[in-house]
Amino acid sequence: MTFKAICTAALVLATGITAQGLAHAQTSAQPSPISALRLSAELFAMGQTQQDPLLVLTAAKLRKSVSLSPTDRAPTGGQVETGTTLEWQTMLETAAALAAADDALLGLIEDVRFETSKGVSDGPVYSVAIIGAGGTDEYESLPFTGGDYAEIYVEGKGNTDLNLYVYDAQGRLVCSDTDISDIAYCGWRPATTSGFRIEVRNKGDANNQYALITN
């Protein structure tokens, strides 16, 4: 079985989508880089919960396919923090630990470790911030181009619930993600080029470091 076939099988098991449906999705449109990051985080979390090295390995391969560039933006009144998003190398180490003595899986892990990255150089940009317990971070007037699909992704490094809200220039709520996790995603298509206010809210009782990623 090829690595692509193994990854497809892992995605089928993880998401419940049929093999036919997954094949159609893969041929009809490639996921955006930010969508790939989001899926990799979800697969990584599921793989850890289920102690499944194949899911974690698939997450690492997806994460490695995306090139990220740091930016110096910071929340209002805050500062730029050092740090990164969850790295594919960390995912691979987790997969290796779960694979134990499975030589076939360990070989696949090494293949992913040394394969050439195909991430595009003009991929998403990210910044890192630390949000306090019960706090709200605001990013004023982040620009997005009218007619182009806009994406914002928040990925935390802690165990608190992070929620994401997007408001237009008139203060109207455009998109939100309030599920109980430390990852959040919003995607929409602005009618015109404009600035949007972003809020990240920490619903937990502890600090959390997170990356804010935009296309």
Set out the domains of the chain in order of their start, with CATH numbers: 3-114 (no CATH), 125-214 (2.60.120.380)
What is the reported pLDDT for 157? 87
Q: For residue 82, what pLDDT is reported?
A: 85
Q: Which residue has the higher pLDDT, 80 or 54?
A: 54
Residue-wise pLDDT tens digits, 154-197: 999 877 999 999 999 999 999 999 999 999 999 999 999 999 99
3-state secondary structure of 109: helix
Percentage of the chain lying above the pLDDT 70 cut: 83
Please tell me whether residue 42 adopts helix, strand or coil conformation.
helix
pLDDT tens figures, 17-35: 434 443 443 444 567 999 9
CA distances from 12 to 6, 54, 63, 68 (A): 10, 12, 18, 27
d(C-alpha 215, C-alpha 189), whole Å? 12
Is a pLDDT exceeding 70 seen at residue 153? yes
In the predicted model, what is the mean pLDDT of residues 204-215?
94
Which has the higher per-residue pLDDT, 80 or 13?
80
